[in-house]
Structure 1
Amino acid sequence: MTADAKPPTSARRDELLAASVAHVAEHGLAELSLRPLARAIGSSPRVLLYLFGSKEGLIREILEVGRAEQFALVTRADGRPGTARDTLDLLWTWLVAPERRGALRLFFDGYVRSFQGDAPWSDFAVASVDEWLPPLDRVLADHRVPPTLVLAVLRGLLLDHLAATNPAHAERVQAAWTAFLDEILPIR
């Protein structure tokens, strides 16, 4: 089996991928090593290599899970009835929910690492932007607001949200999001 080839999906593979995503969301990608990861998720490095082809293959799939979750939220928000402001506010609320903190951290970890251009991160940031812009474009179709601006502010404030260490910081970030929406999509 080549490094990029992987066995067919199995319940065990899915279980180990989910456990790997949870582990990386909590601990980050910076020092990811197969041996400690395998020990933490109840597997072995050999099994992980068999199931994912390589450490890079596993990382690629971990990043894909994180990106897919965020894209699903964007798509779900886009499909809900309501105004553009309602949709963007719903998206924000989903993204900053405490249970998504690990997924946000994983997303930004992969996003920043993609700037180095090395596999498995090389196309992560570009693919993410390419995925987010069409649904944001649909949400904002009746408004003179560039989707790229909304995406940039959203991601910047999400980074600030991750950095928030107390309720006052979190309130400041929430107030900034609300002020941004007031500016681009005022309530009439």
Structure 2
Amino acid sequence: MQETYRRSADSAKGRQRRAELLESVTRDLAEHGLVDFSLRRAARAAGTTHKVLLYYFADGDDLLAQALLRLRGQRVGNALQAVAALPSGTLGDRIRAIWPMLEADATGLRVIDQAIGLAMYDPARYAHLAREAAEQYLAPLTGLLPPEWSSARREEVANLLLATFRGFLMDWRTTSDTTRIESALEALARAMDREAADGP
């Protein structure tokens, strides 16, 4: 019976139902964050039961990871749109354009940053959330860098940017000191312009 249902979950109708459930759970996470997140809470948000969720997702951790993937995709998309909207500019200008999209919280994106805290608190269970986030962010960050740079250099700088932005976000979430962070962001942008001026 379980195998039959699994086959139906992989059908076009099943995939659509899975997407609908995931969308409902993602909205609940964006609104309420990770505090008290559970399969039962997710089921209430999706208007179903936790047993139904388990037909479509391996377990609660899988559901959480998929919802975070969607939220990070939204954050990445917003940042890339901000960069694309620049009429022209330096690498530093692109860096400056990203930060407002990262700190924007109108859609409850703080849950993404809470997930990093969860990975730090219980790495045995949640370290994969931080790794998955890094993988999702690194490709867009690499895409911001000059194409004439070597792949090794682009990877190094993308990792530097990711670590720095994560630090900014952690600092902002815990201190709300936007003045200090914006000053540091300006220093980062100037450093990126110097890096770009060094050539390939």
After TM superposition, the score normalised by the length of structure 2 is 0.68
1:9 to 11, 15, 38: 15
C-alpha separation in 2, matches of 1:54 and 1:130: 22
Aligned partner (choices 75, 84, 87) of residue 94 of structure 2: 87
Q: Which residue of 163, 168, 186 maps to 1:178?
A: 186
Q: How does 1:18-167 map to 2 (within 5 A)?
A: 18-73=23-78, 75-76=80-81, 82-100=89-107, 102-103=108-109, 105-114=110-119, 116-118=123-125, 121-141=126-146, 146-165=157-176
1:148 partner letter: N
Q: Which has the higher helix share?
A: 2
Change (3 A) 1:152 1:27: same
Higher Rg? 2
C-alpha distance in 1 between matches for 2:128 and 2:41: 27
1:73 shift after superposition: 4.2
CA RMSD of aligned residues (A): 3.3
1:124 is aligned with what amino acid? L
CA distance in 2, matches of 1:40, 1:138: 36
Distance apart, 1:87 and its partner CA: 1.7
Q: TM-score, normalised by structure 1?
A: 0.71
1:157, CA displacement in angstroms?
0.7
CA contact (8 A) 1:35 1:44 kept: yes
